[in-house]
Chains A and B, each alone.
Chain A
Amino acid sequence: MPPLVFANDAPTAAERLKDASGVALIALLLGIPMIGLTTADQGGSLQVLTRWPLLAAFIAASFCGRLVVRYLLDALKRRRQAQDRQAGATAAKETRRGGRMLESIGWLAFGLALVLPIVFSDNRYVVDTATTVLIYVMLGWGLNVVVGLAGLLDLGHVAFYAVGAYAYALLSTQFGWGFWAALPVAGIIAGVFGLALGWPSLRLRGDYLAIVTLGFGEIIRVVLINWTDFSGGPNGISSIPRPTFFGLPFVPSSDNPTFATYFGLEFSPMHRIIFLYYVILVLSLLTNVLVKRLRRLPIGRAWEAVREDEIACKALGMNVTNAKLSAFALGAMLGGVAGVFFAARQGFISPESFTFNESAIILAIVVLGGMGSQLGVVLASVVLVLLPELGRDFAEYRMLLFGAAMILIMVWRPGGILSHREPTLRLSPEGGRRE
């Protein structure tokens, strides 16, 4: 094979032809047995036939195809180099403008999210799917604190999701707690689990931490399956109470006032669906505001500094353990809150919902979105939830499509969809004191 990457200058016509000829030669060698020769059954005996014209067509196609592909790749490379040169010149201004553009995209996404259930008020499927997206957005934002900001690879985030979900399920079915009362409590319980896991394991780094968290995720699931008295085992917990609208339930009829009777509306199951959508929207927006603010505080800067260089942090007098623990606990708490919502929305949970698959998807959302980028998480959640949904029609190719999309994104944008990092504070309002 001729080398795939040419020198910096554009290749000459001769080089292009040579490159394509090489590919054509390979096509020829492979093609002779595979295309050129074929067997056919003629009068009961097997005969070898030749198909030279077809082979010639294939070789011609690979020759031309190589020329085109090569040309496109070169053009792409040149364009990227030109961009890099430009970017170097006006880096500070660029990042400033990039930050502003992302901000406006964020507001646009927020606006769309606000009106979505109004536009699709009679389409349950759309609102349901959007709710699922938002659950993953919230999970992604929670995990983003741990993985994206603090740089701790957590493969067992689903454990905290499960803790939150089961905490609400048990508090409500056993002790009659309401959704809103259980929400913070279950979040705190998940946060405590985060501390309990983090305390011994955060002295590990990178891969080792990933394995411990992976194990923790499995331990929680296996305990839930086997401790039947406590968690209902594989049967899970059913008839978990749904959230109410300030005490007004979403039911067709009741002795007490319901949401529909109180507001003089005709009962519609869509009311609950839309209400749930807004609940998760508010929860995830609160998460977003919280994480954004924390990022600009000492603790948030400490998380990022730990990600960048732990040893330097120690040399500057920072208690690295505290910084990591706080990130881990906060991520766990946010995961737990998302779990409460999940349990309340489904009305039924079982250990089946909290497999490693979920952890992998949440991590994929954070990594694909661009580590540390809040908006990136939203885009990645939309992609990763909608892709399998769109793929339902050709179910057997779903995972293939999913994998291909992931590979494409990683090739196209190795730093994630949005790898822009906005500084937590600037000296001058206009992108550095440059001329």
Chain B
Amino acid sequence: MSSEVAVPLLSVERLTMRFGGLAAIDDLSLDVPPGKITGVIGPNGAGKTTFFNCLTGFYKPTVGSVRLNHPERGVLRLEDLPSHQVAHTAQVVRTFQNIRLFPKMTVLENLIVAQHNVLQKASRFSLAGILGLPSYRRAEAQAVAKAVDWLTRLGLIDKADTAAGDLPYGTQRRIEIARALCVDPLLLCLDEPAAGLNPRESGELNELLLRLVADEGLTILLIEHDMSVVMNVSNHICVLNYGRKIAEGTPKQMQNDPNVIKAYLGEEEADELLYGEKSGESAGVTP
């Protein structure tokens, strides 16, 4: 369908996740091209978050494989890695649908914790840290500089010393993204980053995501309900329903795909919309 020549960064093959008799994800295959934004949409309960949990090691898929083409470390099989290795070794970092910040810690501390592995290594089992050796101090200063850089770029710098839990919802969403960026992700998996944002904030989110791809060469996998975000930023969209992939293509194609419309609107209303009135043009998933 698409004319991608590049090797996909992530290829998901025949992924199935069963909980008892229920197949939350059923035989899903998907390629995520590098340097692009891939959207995953679908009605509630379609298996989108389960898909993320399988990618990031929180669930072990029943069947199937998730392979990441790491530029330095070769092909990594994500389904075999424990969740912290997915972030640390494979550099696949996710955010959560219900924000998971460290609420009592300050914004800056949240971003420093994201660089735990680098700092922990520099502190040499905390010995260099306890003695305050220059090598550790340098590493800490670098970590702070990186955090400050992201905070500045995301317009959060004046909140750096505030406890993360005291900030408004929209700001917390941005902090979670900033924190994920501090892990140096190759692939950033965002689980409904626009949920709870007002139109102005989701507009800013669009800009941010496009900028991350353009400036940082980041690859983004995006679960989103907010069509104004997903349709505007995605290069490629995969639509799930009842754990199965029902369509895949460009945003434009998806807006006019009868299967997608059916999944969102239900059988009858979709028929009405598609075939009832012969206007043809008006058919589409409206924001």
Contacts and interface: CB of A to CB of B under 8 A. Distances in A.
B102 A314 contact: no
B146 to A, nearest CB: 13
A427 B109 CA distance: 10
B244 interface: no
A425 B123 CA distance: 16
A423 B93 contact: no
A308 B120 contact: no
Contact of A92 (B83, B96, B114, B162): B162
A353 to B, nearest CB: 32
A385 interface: no
B109 A318 contact: no
A294 B126 CA distance: 7
A298 B100 contact: no
B105 interface: yes
A305 B106 CA distance: 11
B161 A305 contact: no
A302 B140 CA distance: 14
Contacts of A294: 126, 129-130
B185 to A, nearest CB: 10
B129 A297 contact: yes
A316 B179 contact: yes
Contacts of B122: 298
Given A314-B84, A317-B117, A309 B161 contact: no
Contacts of A421: 104, 163
A311 B102 contact: no
A239 B59 CA distance: 57
A428 B117 CA distance: 25
Contacts of A308: 101-105
A317 B93 contact: yes
A218 to B, nearest CB: 32
A426 B108 contact: yes
- Among all A-B residue pairs, the 5 with the closest Cβ atoms: A317-B87, A317-B88, A308-B102, A432-B161, A312-B100
Interface of A: 91-92, 290, 293-294, 297-299, 301-302, 304-305, 308-309, 311-320, 421, 423-428, 431-434
Interface of B: 56-58, 83-88, 93-96, 100-106, 108-109, 112-114, 116-117, 119-120, 122-123, 126, 129-130, 140, 144, 148, 157-163, 166, 179-180, 183
Given A423-B108, A424-B109, 7 more contacts: A293-B129, A314-B83, A317-B93, A424-B105, A428-B161, A431-B161, A432-B159
